[in-house]
Amino acid sequence: MIYSTQPRHEVRKAISEVSHTPFWLDDPAKPDPKPPLTQNISTDLLIIGAGFSGLWTALLAKEENPAREVVLIEAGEAAIGASGRNGGFVDASITHGFRNGLSRWSREVATLKALGEANLAAIEATIQRLGIECDYINTGEIDIATEPYLMDEFAELVELGKPYNARFELLDRDQLYSVIKSPIFIGGIKRFDSSLVNPAQLAWGLRKACLDLGVQLYEHSPVTKLEEQGKFVIAYTPHGQIRASRVALATNAFPPLLKRISQYIVPVYDYALMTEPLTPSQRDSIGWHGREGLSDGNRQFHYFRTTVDGRILWGGYDAIYHWNNGFGSQLENNPASFSLLADHFFQAFPQLEGLRFSHAWGGAIDTCSRFSPFWGTAHHGKTAYSMGFTGLGVGATRFGAQVMLDLLDNKKTERTELEFVRTKPLPFPPEPLRSIGIKLSQWSIKQADEHEGKENLWLKLMDKLGLGFDS
């Protein structure tokens, strides 16, 4: 394991003046919020949560049937959750990577791969068609090795992908050095089915498109309770109720409105730093003129990318679970994780020593034990949900939205017939076993990273059971 476990004292200076507003949300383009709901209304379709899941659901529902009444209701403001806080990697995979898809749905993986690619193409086409300015670029992503055993794992992945025409390209040290200069990077594997985006600008663009199509949006209107009443579901907010024929729940890692969801999801806090813009000489010292998305191949991994104004976003590594699905804005500021991230950044790029970070933030990921989304219905099919994206939902939420609409419209489609869609992850046990299991998994993951990827008995057992912990 190359990365330090204790940050050096010196790195504190680099993060001493950070803003804790997520970089993407600290943008003058942020739209003014729509007024809250203050009366009782009714609608054909109510969507709860205006992150990517809710926004795609609203847009696709309206585009398919402009006559359908669609209400989108948001506790805070659009993109305030994970959708405005993420790394902006838009991956084609809807299964949290090809390897995870292959290991869990080997019979369907070719279809899932094709559906994921079509999903990414549709996202790109929508951005172009609607003219959403969100710095969308299709540069691919490179997973990087810092130790030789990771190159062996990458080579194995190339072989696994061959029967499925999965396009992977191994990069040796020199090839990687021509992309990015770091003394600790020894090679990598490039995937071509991944793009980068400014996530908040994409979400705000989708929000505008929804409004243009007549979606009614209420912000600062938390739904506190859902109740089935005959043919309808009633959603309660502090100052008004909504009577809906159908409800799509798009609340991600937030405390769920259906109790049954809590057994499948744990909110896990992930953190990110943004640097100041690099000077031309700082940029030359690291290369990286191609704007590829990068991440390292360890189990506890970092993801990093550049922005259009020449900054570097550096996030990941720590994935922190709090007792009993702990959740709240107080958990978004974590100085210990910020220091560790900053230390790792300068280990990767010692030539940038002296560079400061301008933003440091955190957000919750809806981790489930199979790392990829799952769906379900409640209230006799009138409510549907899509969650469990586990840190790879920027692209997959659009596919999740399509499935929710299929379920709510009671439509049999290629999507709803998939085992991937029909099955659920294994549930997490209740507390205290939940915390104990997660702690043990995290410790074991650290051990694996420190011992050339070798998994201990606990991780092997979890793998056998199809249970896992990831971000």
Ligand X SMILES: Cc1cc2nc3c(=O)[nH]c(=O)nc-3n(C[C@H](O)[C@H](O)[C@H](O)COP(=O)(O)OP(=O)(O)OC[C@H]3O[C@@H](n4cnc5c(N)ncnc54)[C@H](O)[C@@H]3O)c2cc1C
Site string for ligand X, 267-286 (x = CB under 6 A): ---x-x--------------
Structure tokens at 371: 């790392």
For CA atoms 132, 138, 144, 150, the dihedral sign is positive
Task: Count CB atoms within 10 A of the CB of residue 158.
Answer: 14
Site membership for ligand X, residue 257 (CB under 6 A):
yes
Query: Which one of residues 43, 95, 119, 251 is an interface residue with ligand X (CB under 6 A)?
Result: 251
Contact by Cβ (8 Å): 190, 171: yes
Residues 387-426 that bind ligand X (CB under 6 A): 389, 391-395, 397
Site membership for ligand X, residue 87 (CB under 6 A):
yes
To ligand X, the closest distance from the beta carbon of 312 in angstroms equals: 14
Contact by Cβ (8 Å): 316, 272: yes
Residues 254/31/361/9 CA torsion (nearest 10 deg) = -170
* Sequence-distant contacts of 407-412: CB under 8 A, at least 24 apart: 407/375, 407/377, 407/381, 408/45, 408/246, 408/248, 408/377, 408/381, 408/382, 408/384, 410/381
Looking at 6-14, 154-162, 320-328, 386-394, which segment touches ligand X (CB under 6 A)? 386-394
Phi first, then psi, for residue 25 (nearest 5°) are -85, -10
Site membership for ligand X, residue 161 (CB under 6 A):
no
Phi first, then psi, for residue 12 (nearest 5°) are -60, -35
To ligand X, the closest distance from the beta carbon of 392 in angstroms equals: 4
Residues 283-312 that bind ligand X (CB under 6 A): 303
To ligand X, the closest distance from the beta carbon of 432 in angstroms equals: 25
Structure tokens at 282: 């700082």
Query: Which one of residues 43, 69, 91, 150 is an interface residue with ligand X (CB under 6 A)?
Result: 91
Of residues 96 and 104, the one with the C-beta less far from ligand X: 96
Looking at 64-72, 84-92, 352-360, 406-414, which segment touches ligand X (CB under 6 A)? 84-92
Q: Is 6 helix (H, G, I), strand (E, B) or coil?
A: coil
Contact by Cβ (8 Å): 210, 65: no
Structure tokens at 210: 């929804």
To ligand X, the closest distance from the beta carbon of 433 in angstroms equals: 25
To ligand X, the closest distance from the beta carbon of 20 in angstroms equals: 13
Which residue(s) pair with 320 in the sheet?
269
To ligand X, the closest distance from the beta carbon of 345 in angstroms equals: 15
Query: Which one of residues 43, 57, 86, 93 is an interface residue with ligand X (CB under 6 A)?
Result: 86
Looking at 76-84, 94-102, 176-184, 374-382, which segment touches ligand X (CB under 6 A)? 76-84
Of residues 272 and 459, the one with the C-beta less far from ligand X: 272
Query: Which one of residues 53, 282, 307, 372 is an interface residue with ligand X (CB under 6 A)?
Result: 53
Of residues 74 and 343, the one with the C-beta less far from ligand X: 74
Site membership for ligand X, residue 222 (CB under 6 A):
yes
Nearest CA among 413, 378, 374, 412 for reference residue 396: 374
Residues present in the chain in total? 471
Site membership for ligand X, residue 51 (CB under 6 A):
yes
Query: Which one of residues 92, 115, 134, 250 is an interface residue with ligand X (CB under 6 A)?
Result: 250
Q: What would the DSSP string read from start to end of 59-109?
A: HHHHHH-TTS-EEEE-SS-TT-SGGGTS--EEES-SSSSHHHHHHH-TTTH
Of residues 155 and 424, the one with the C-beta less far from ligand X: 424
Query: Which one of residues 267, 363, 388, 468 is an interface residue with ligand X (CB under 6 A)?
Result: 363
Of residues 43 and 86, the one with the C-beta less far from ligand X: 86
Structure tokens at 200: 């908040």
Site membership for ligand X, residue 80 (CB under 6 A):
yes
Which residue(s) pair with 321 in the sheet?
268
To ligand X, the closest distance from the beta carbon of 281 in angstroms equals: 28
Give dist(CA 121, CA 106) in Å, integer: 23
Give dist(CA 225, CA 257) in Å, integer: 6
Site membership for ligand X, residue 187 (CB under 6 A):
no
To ligand X, the closest distance from the beta carbon of 31 in angstroms equals: 14
Size of the site for ligand X (CB under 6 A): 42
Interface residues with ligand X (CB under 6 A)?
48-54, 73-76, 80-83, 85-89, 91, 222-223, 250-252, 254, 257, 270, 272, 303, 315, 363-365, 389, 391-395, 397
